[in-house]
């Protein structure tokens, strides 16, 4: 019976690192290094066989730090722990070997930072799961709330407002459920507060398992029912393949065979959780291939690994697993458990810039490959392999699933073509017409090359044996904009403040997008000063804070304000410059009826011509000039009409200078003296 094993099966990096570290600790203890008890803080792995090996070797398992013996050497598993647990261990003088998975550590840091900033925390994951407890523990000691949800329905149970919180996820949470939760919750909290912290290995494991389940008659998921990632794999595969079975070891596999649940010739797909050792996976695969095994002559004393190599049969047009061993200028060589190595054209790796070939060779990385051809010659067997063929089929199935379910996917833009761009999803090309790039997208298509774009697959056509796939980022933006618009119209009120983006600047004002809806900010609401055009204040693309002045739900019109009351030169004017106070200012303009004096930037007061001098003036310019500093008394303030009156003469009148010669001529002559008596 044909058996295909998912390439992402078994130990993930975090679990493998923790198990290897534990085994090394046992070896050190056996050689006399170190002292004190060896402690696992919680079950290191959801696998009884591995746990028994570790406890038989000398480890003891403690479920919490308070029960750990003093002076122990404590291994923290990949799930991580809250800071309070580490503090207890340190107080007991324990040596801590921290094997927290890097992906989990990243989440813990995100939560700790957000909590220190006073933000509430939402975690998607299993309530009570050790990893989730460790994540939630990062908020201890801060005045914030934490909510754990595992479904879309539970969003309504979150006990705090969503306007000041972040969203993170357990690393092994369902990528599909997380995407559904994000689709709803991202309209309520800022995008930069949503962190997709699902482990990329977990997400890719789920995608591959989903694709394999769609192609299989029977699906076997190997792992423990206590493992979060294993149960999610099972649920995912079960939704794609009705005959999906969760098994823990080869005995369960034999039981399924003995009960006749698998018929001859049916295709069997095999995947495994992150806590499943490779030996168990290989043993299950061996059992499924039992009919083929009987045709091989294997020595009775051969090891399991040696026997397995005998069981592998490399055939044309099949998919097999092998380890990358070395490379030359033309090919990458793979050990596919045959007498001759297979080879992959090295150019296949050029299309995947994220693949580190040097690292793959150094670590003898395992890959799934398609056997394109097998040729026998005098020099031996030549096996031509293809990695792209396997990746392409897996990724094509994922793209088809995304098309069927209308699920967005991320693609990397690799080239520009006529009227559009090409995005790649693991080697599957997707055409995006320039009109579908985005709302108000740039015309320079080359600027998108190298970027990652979130799209929805809008066309998946295999007619005439030619694959044609199209996608659109614009529809995602449009849907998001509609959802945001609905949210705005449900919650809008006068005076409410929004952060918006300037979309256009007609002569009469600025249209500002406040999140799915455009509002108009008239020129008169842009500045307290008189402006000629809105570009005197704003430019397209500016992110600004505006408030609602008025709105009409029927006509869908919103009037916005940008200028702030506190920026008004007349704001609080009667308190800042009360009537009767003495002020200092600069003459900025002279008219026949008075002088305008600037008291503050954009704040002028009028001194009437009668209030300048103690003498009668024909015009202010007789004693004043522009730029001259004066002292004056505030005599009247009219905030509504935006007028201030001042008097210079009440402080220090400025009188015209008198020409003495002219004064002498104008003076009357004194009467001559006489001896005549005055009239009575």
CA contacts within 13 A on the Cβ side of 209:
33
Segment 589-602 mean pLDDT: 92
Is 117 a catalytic site residue? Answer: no
What is the pLDDT, as a whole number, of residue 353? 66
Cα distances from 340 to residues 7, 314, 421, in angstroms, run 22, 10, 42
* Domain spans in the chain, listed from the N-terminal domain onward: 11-98, 102-198, 389-472, 492-567, 574-656
Q: What's the pLDDT at 650? A: 93
SS3 content of the chain, % helix, strand, coil (to 5): 35, 30, 40
pLDDT over 70, % of the chain: 90
| Residue 380 confidence (pLDDT) | 63
pLDDT beyond 60 at 312: no
Question: Tokens 């709105």 sit at which residue?
Answer: 551
Closest CA to 70 of 48, 100, 39: 39
The set of residues, in sequence order, having a beta carbon less than 8 Å from that of 273 and lying 6+ positions away, is 46, 221, 222, 223, 224, 227, 229, 230, 233
Which residues contact residue 383 at a Cβ distance below 8 angstroms, ignoring those fewer than 6 apart? Answer: 314, 336, 338, 340, 341, 342, 343, 371, 373, 374
The topology (CATH level 3) of 11-98 is Rossmann fold (3.40.50)
| Residue 671 banded pLDDT, cuts 50, 70, 90 | low
The verdict on domain 102-198 having CATH code 1.10.3720.10 is: no
Does residue 656 have a pLDDT over 60? yes
Give the residue-averaged pLDDT of 387-416: 89
Taking residues 209-220, report their average pLDDT: 91
pLDDT band of residue 677 (cuts 50, 70, 90) is very low
Asked whether the predicted pLDDT for residue 676 surpasses 60, the reply is: no
Q: Which CATH architecture has domain 574-656?
A: Beta Barrel (2.40)
Give the long-range contacts of residues 304-311, CB within 8 A, separation 24 or more. Answer: 304/279, 308/282, 308/337, 309/337, 311/286
Candidate CATH numbers 3.40.720.10, 3.40.50.2300, 2.40.50.140, 2.40.280.10; the one for domain 389-472: 2.40.50.140
Mean pLDDT of the chain: 85
Do residues 393 and 368 lie in contact, with contact meaning Cβ atoms separated by under 8 Å? Answer: no
pLDDT of residue 426: 80
pTM: 0.41
- If phi > 0 it is left, if psi is from -120 to 50 it is alpha, else beta; for residue 509 that is left
- Given 4, 43, 85, 131, which residue is catalytic? 131
Cα-based distances in Å from 148 to 124, 145, 152, 153, 375:
6, 10, 12, 12, 57
Query: Taking phi first (over 0 means left), then psi (-120 to 50 degrees means alpha), and beta for anything else, what does residue 530 get?
Result: beta
pLDDT in tens, 114-152: 999 999 999 999 888 899 999 999 999 999 999 999 999
Do 11-98 and 492-567 show the same overall fold? no
Instruction: Kindly indicate the confidence band of residue 607, based on its pLDDT and cuts at 50, 70 and 90.
Output: very high
Is residue 388 within 8 Å of 348, Cβ to Cβ? yes
pLDDT at residue 1, rounded to an integer: 58
Q: What is the rounded CA–CA span in Å between residue 637 and residue 634?
A: 8
**Which residue in the block uniquely carries the two structure tokens 């500045």?**
527
Count the Cβ atoms, other than its own, within 10 Å of residue 609: 21
pLDDT classification of 307: cutoffs 50, 70, 90: very low
Q: Sorting pLDDT into bands at 50, 70 and 90, what band is 299?
A: very low
Indicate if the pLDDT at residue 284 is higher than 60.
Answer: yes
pLDDT tens for residues 356-368?
A: 888 888 888 998 8
Mean pLDDT over 621-640 rounds to 93
What is the spatial distance between Cα 462 and Cα 628, in angstroms, rounded to a whole number? 83
Residue 154 in this model has a pLDDT that exceeds 80: yes
Question: What is the model's pLDDT at position 123?
Answer: 96
Is the domain covering 492-567 a CATH 3.40.50.1970 domain? no
Residue 439 — pLDDT band, cuts 50, 70, 90? low
Beta partners for residue 502, in sequence order? 512
Residue 432, both tokens: 């995006």
pLDDT level of residue 316 (50, 70, 90 thresholds): confident
Residue-wise pLDDT tens digits, 558-590: 999 998 888 788 888 888 899 999 999 999 999
Find out whether 182 and 167 touch, Cβ atoms under 8 Å.
yes
């Amino acid at each position: 019976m044909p058996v295909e094993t998912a390439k992402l099966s078994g130990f993930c990096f975090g679990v493998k690192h923790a198990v290897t570290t534990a085994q090394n600790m046992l070896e050190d203890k056996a050689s006399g290094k170190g002292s004190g008890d060896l402690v696992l803080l919680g079950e290191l792995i959801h696998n009884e066989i591995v746990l028994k090996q570790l406890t038989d070797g000398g480890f003891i398992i403690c479920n919490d730090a308070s029960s750990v013996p003093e002076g122990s050497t404590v291994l923290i598993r990949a799930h991580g722990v809250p800071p309070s647990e580490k503090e207890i261990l340190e107080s007991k003088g324990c040596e801590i070997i921290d094997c927290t998975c890097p992906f989990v550590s990243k989440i813990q840091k995100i939560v700790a930072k957000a909590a220190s900033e006073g933000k509430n925390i939402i975690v998607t994951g299993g309530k009570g799961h050790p990893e989730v407890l460790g994540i939630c523990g990062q908020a201890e000691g801060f005045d914030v709330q934490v909510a754990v949800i595992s479904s879309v329905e539970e969003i309504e149970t979150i006990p705090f407002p969503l306007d000041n919180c972040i969203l993170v996820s357990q690393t092994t949470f369902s990528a599909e459920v997380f995407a559904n939760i994000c689709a709803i919750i991202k309209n309520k909290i800022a995008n930069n507060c949503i962190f997709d912290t699902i482990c990329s290995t977990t997400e890719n494991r789920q995608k591959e398992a989903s694709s394999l389940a769609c192609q299989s008659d029977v699906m076997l998921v190997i792992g423990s029912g206590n493992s979060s990632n294993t149960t999610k794999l099972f649920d995912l595969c079960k939704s794609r393949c009705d005959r999906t079975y969760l098994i823990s070891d080869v005995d369960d596999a034999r039981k399924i065979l003995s009960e006749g649940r698998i018929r001859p010739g049916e295709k069997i797909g095999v995947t495994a959780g992150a806590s499943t050792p490779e030996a168990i996976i290989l043993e299950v695969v061996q059992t499924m291939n039992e009919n083929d095994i009987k045709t091989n002559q294997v020595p009775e004393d051969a090891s399991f690994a040696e026997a397995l190599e005998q069981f592998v049969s490399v055939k044309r047009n099949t998919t097999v697993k092998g380890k990358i061993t070395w490379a030359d200028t033309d090919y990458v060589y793979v050990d596919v458990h045959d007498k001759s190595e297979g080879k992959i054209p090295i150019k296949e790796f050029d299309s995947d810039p994220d693949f580190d070939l040097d690292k793959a060779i150094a670590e003898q990385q395992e890959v799934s490959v398609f056997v394109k051809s097998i040729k026998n010659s005098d020099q031996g067997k030549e096996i031509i392999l293809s990695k792209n063929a396997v990746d392409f089929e897996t990724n094509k199935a994922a793209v088809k699933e995304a098309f069927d379910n209308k699920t967005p996917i991320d693609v990397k833009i690799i080239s520009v073509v006529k009227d559009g761009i090409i995005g790649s999803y693991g080697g599957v090309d997707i055409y995006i017409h320039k009109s579908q790039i985005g709302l108000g997208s740039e015309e320079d298509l080359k600027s998108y090359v190298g970027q990652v774009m979130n799209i929805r697959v809008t066309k998946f056509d295999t007619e005439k044996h030619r694959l044609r796939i199209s996608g659109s980022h614009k529809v995602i933006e449009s849907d998001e904009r509609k959802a945001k618009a609905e949210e705005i119209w449900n919650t809008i009120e006068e005076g409410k403040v929004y952060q918006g983006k300037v979309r256009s600047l007609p002569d009469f004002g600025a249209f500002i997008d406040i999140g799915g809806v455009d509002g108009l900010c008239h020129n008169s609401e842009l500045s307290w000063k008189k402006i000629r055009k809105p570009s005197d204040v704003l430019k397209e693309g500016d992110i600004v804070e505006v408030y609602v002045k008025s709105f009409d739900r029927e006509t869908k019109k919103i009037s916005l304000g940008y200028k702030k009351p506190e920026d008004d030169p007349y704001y609080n004017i009667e308190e800042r410059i009360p009537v009767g106070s003495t002020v200092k200012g600069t003459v900025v303009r002279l008219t026949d009826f008075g002088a305008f004096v600037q008291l503050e930037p954009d704040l002028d007061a009028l001194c009437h011509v009668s209030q300048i001098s103690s003498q009668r003036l024909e015009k202010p310019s007789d004693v004043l000039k522009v730029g001259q500093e004066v002292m004056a008394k505030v005599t009247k303030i009219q905030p509504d009409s935006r007028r201030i009156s001042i008097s210079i003469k009440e402080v220090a009148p400025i009188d015209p200078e008198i020409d003495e010669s002219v004064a002498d001529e104008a003076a009357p002559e004194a009467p001559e003296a006489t001896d005549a008596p005055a009239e009575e």
